[in-house]
């Protein structure tokens, strides 16, 4: 099948025409999957699926894929207002003008597919309401986990479950950095520079290394999992920039691996805790073996138990695969006049609990004086704040390094203890502290 056949094939079924907003990494991947697999997609849909128009910012930019220039326009209205285009794929990123484009497409009677995690996390509810009112589809599988089919699985295959927890590694850049630090004993800044040079990290890596990318993704997953809207502002977020080679090595010696985790948990009947932060994960846990740019997401349901999703968390073809999967689903719905079947599932209201209420174990690394009574003085501070110590290791030196691991304790107590330790004469510095997740 040619890239842009405007007529039906086989049984003469008219094509379903789509428009793309954006032809960057994700847009290029979606276009390539659509064109490379056009014949198989036609068989699966029951009609040809044809890209009619692609809106881009710069018509003269070099592309990642070969595209007929007649398809390109720098006027998004040529996509949004075309009556022959049934599906608009928003692949430009950011909230504005993406939100305005999505709402206009829906108001023009077009179903929408998006891979825009920031838009979905912050303002996706508005688009879902608009789509539901017009009996249209708004799908966004590509917004989380690259090629991992997690969103449709949670909305459909796992819909009969009460989900108690969703936990995983959802940012490939930070996982690549931490993996190399673990394997090479390197410092974060050195690995980050090399990752930027090789294209694994952006020139401005803030969204990744400070945890904001993972924040958006766990807000989306938690909203679906707990049937309650979770905003990015509800998610405690902490990045990886204070992780040092010492922490990686101490974790390894104790049987752990350091990972940036995104965690959403249901607490009782009316609350959730949602957080992003680095943590020590047991080396035997499946998440610990998720290396390089890969993602892994664990979902715990009351009926199904634990289900693990693993795969490429980003990339042109991986995310393009997710986008095209949504396109195929919308096309099937269009052919059977069944769009709008799965509306917004946030029909409950659960309050987001603050980070201080989290109960977990902790790892603390500090430099202390090497003299009698030092460890007892530190243990006394911990004890005053109801922090029970599981183990302690210390080196012998004028400026000794002490590694503490606690039993499960409420974070509020842990923070109070750490604050007091910072002023203790026996403590030179609290170098780092991390949560330990089982």
pLDDT interval class at 288 (50, 70, 90): very high
Alpha carbons 218 and 222: distance in angstroms, whole number? 6
pLDDT interval class at 198 (50, 70, 90): confident
Strand partners, 434: 363
- Half-sphere CA count of 228, side-chain side, radius 13 A: 20
pLDDT tens digits for range 199-212: 889 999 999 999 99
- Tell whether the model's pLDDT for residue 245 goes beyond 70: yes
Class of domain 356-436: alpha beta
**Among candidates 286, 267, 272, 282, which has minimal Cα distance to 224?**
272
Percent of the chain with pLDDT over 90: 93
Beta strand 85-90 pairing with 236-237: unpaired
pLDDT interval class at 11 (50, 70, 90): low
pLDDT tens digits for range 319-333: 999 999 999 999 999
pLDDT given at position 178: 97
Alpha carbons 348 and 223: distance in angstroms, whole number? 10
- Residues with a known catalytic role: 217
pLDDT given at position 271: 98
Query: Rounded mean pLDDT of 340-354?
Result: 94
pLDDT interval class at 6 (50, 70, 90): very low
For the domain covering 151-312, report its CATH number. Answer: 3.30.360.10
pLDDT given at position 166: 98
- Tell whether the model's pLDDT for residue 2 goes beyond 70: no
- Tell whether the model's pLDDT for residue 5 goes beyond 70: no
pLDDT tens digits for range 355-392: 999 999 999 999 999 999 999 999 999 999 999 999 99
Whether domain 16-146+317-335 has CATH 1.20.120.10: the reply is no
Query: Rounded mean pLDDT of 221-240?
Result: 98
- Tell whether the model's pLDDT for residue 222 goes beyond 80: yes
- Tell whether the model's pLDDT for residue 1 goes beyond 70: no
pLDDT tens digits for range 115-130: 999 999 999 999 999 9
pLDDT given at position 105: 98
Query: Rounded mean pLDDT of 223-245?
Result: 98
Query: Rounded mean pLDDT of 237-249?
Result: 97
Domain extent listing, the chain? 16-146+317-335, 151-312, 356-436
Beta strand 271-282 pairing with 256-267: antiparallel
Whole-model pTM over 0.85: yes
pLDDT tens digits for range 416-429: 999 999 999 999 99
Query: Rounded mean pLDDT of 236-247?
Result: 97
- The mean of the pLDDT values for the chain is 95
pLDDT tens digits for range 391-414: 999 988 889 999 999 999 999 999
Quote the Cα angle for 401-406-409, to 5°. Answer: 140
- Tell whether the model's pLDDT for residue 305 goes beyond 60: yes
């Amino acid at each position: 099948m040619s890239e842009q056949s405007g007529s039906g094939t086989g049984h003469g079924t008219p094509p379903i025409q789509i428009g793309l907003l954006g032809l960057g990494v994700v847009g290029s991947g979606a276009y390539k999957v659509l064109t490379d697999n056009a014949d198989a997609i036609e068989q699966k849909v029951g009609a040809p699926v044809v890209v009619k128009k692609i809106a881009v910012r710069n018509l003269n930019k070099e592309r990642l894929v070969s595209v007929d220039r007649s398809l390109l326009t720098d006027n998004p209205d040529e996509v949004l207002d075309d009556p022959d285009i049934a599906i608009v794929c928003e692949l430009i990123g950011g909230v504005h003008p993406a939100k305005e484009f999505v709402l206009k497409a829906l108001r023009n009677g077009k179903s929408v597919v998006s891979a825009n995690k920031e838009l979905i996390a912050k303002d996706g509810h508005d688009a879902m309401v608009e789509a539901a009112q017009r009996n249209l589809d708004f799908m966004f599988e590509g917004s989380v986990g690259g090629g991992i089919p997690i969103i449709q699985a949670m909305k459909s295959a796992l819909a009969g479950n009460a989900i108690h927890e969703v936990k995983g590694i959802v940012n490939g850049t930070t996982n690549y950095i931490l993996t190399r630090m673990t394997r090479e004993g390197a410092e974060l800044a050195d690995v980050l520079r090399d990752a930027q040079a090789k294209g694994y990290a952006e020139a401005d890596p803030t969204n990744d290394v400070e945890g904001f990318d993972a924040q958006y993704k766990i807000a989306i997953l938690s909203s679906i999992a707990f049937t309650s809207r979770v905003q990015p502002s509800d998610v405690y977020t902490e990045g990886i920039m204070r992780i040092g080679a010492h922490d990686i090595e101490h974790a390894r010696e104790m049987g752990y691996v350091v990972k940036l985790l995104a965690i959403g948990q249901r607490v009782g009947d009316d609350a959730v805790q949602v957080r992003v932060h680095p943590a020590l994960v047991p080396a035997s846990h499946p998440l610990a073996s998720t290396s390089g740019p890969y993602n892994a997401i664990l979902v715990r349901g009351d009926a199904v138990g634990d289900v693990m999703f693993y795969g490429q968390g980003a990339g042109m073809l991986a995310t393009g695969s997710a986008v095209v999967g949504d396109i195929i689903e919308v096309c099937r719905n269009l052919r059977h006049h069944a769009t709008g079947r799965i509306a917004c599932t946030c029909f409950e209201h659960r309050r987001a609990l603050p980070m201080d209420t989290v109960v977990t174990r902790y790892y603390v690394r500090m430099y202390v004086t090497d003299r009698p009574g030092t460890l007892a003085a530190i243990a006394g501070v911990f004890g005053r704040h109801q922090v029970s110590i599981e183990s302690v290791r210390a080196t012998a030196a004028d400026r000794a390094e002490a590694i503490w691991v606690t039993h499960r304790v409420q974070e509020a107590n842990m923070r109070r203890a750490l604050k007091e330790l910072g002023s203790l004469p026996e403590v030179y510095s609290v170098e780092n502290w991390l949560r330990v997740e089982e």
